[in-house]
Amino acid sequence: MMPSFRRLLSMLLLALLAGCAAGPAPVSEPDEALSGPVVGPRWNLLLVGTSERLELPTTPFFEIAPDGRVSGHDGCNRFTGRVELGPDNRIAFGRLASTRMACPHQAEAGQVTAMLDRAYRYLIDHDRLVFFGPDQRVLGGFRRAN
């Protein structure tokens, strides 16, 4: 049994030395830039749900940058976060953070960020962007700014 043990030990030492000689593992490539029709333009709020129009002092909007950052305004406060896009028009907003300044329209503004938090899929038709929840119900819509 001794020769088998020595052979095994030798192979383990050779494997360890080969791993060290190879140098450090390469740094992973940065994530690919996001692309597609939802990335880049400013999207202004059109409707919450299928028909509710919000009357806010500032029109809510958002923009998605190619690096996955999202920024916008909910009608009362600015917000930032991240977005992931997937196959079949999947979308997931995350880490949305707001300035949270007092505003008389805070409840309505909260509907905007809640819509983004719940967004699961999107559909773009010409200059309109519609978000759907996981249950396929319409959450709301935006219009591409000119």
Share of the chain above pLDDT 90, in %: 60
Taking Cα atoms as reference points, which of 146, 141, 124, 118 lies closest to residue 46?
141
pLDDT tens, residue by residue, 80-97: 999 999 999 999 999 999
**Phi first, then psi: what are they for 15, rounded to 5°?**
-65, -40
CATH fold of 42-144: Lipocalin (2.40.128)
pLDDT tens, residue by residue, 39-60: 999 999 999 998 888 888 889 9
| DSSP E strand stretches across 32-144 | 42-48, 61-64, 69-73, 78-86, 90-98, 121-125, 128-132, 138-144
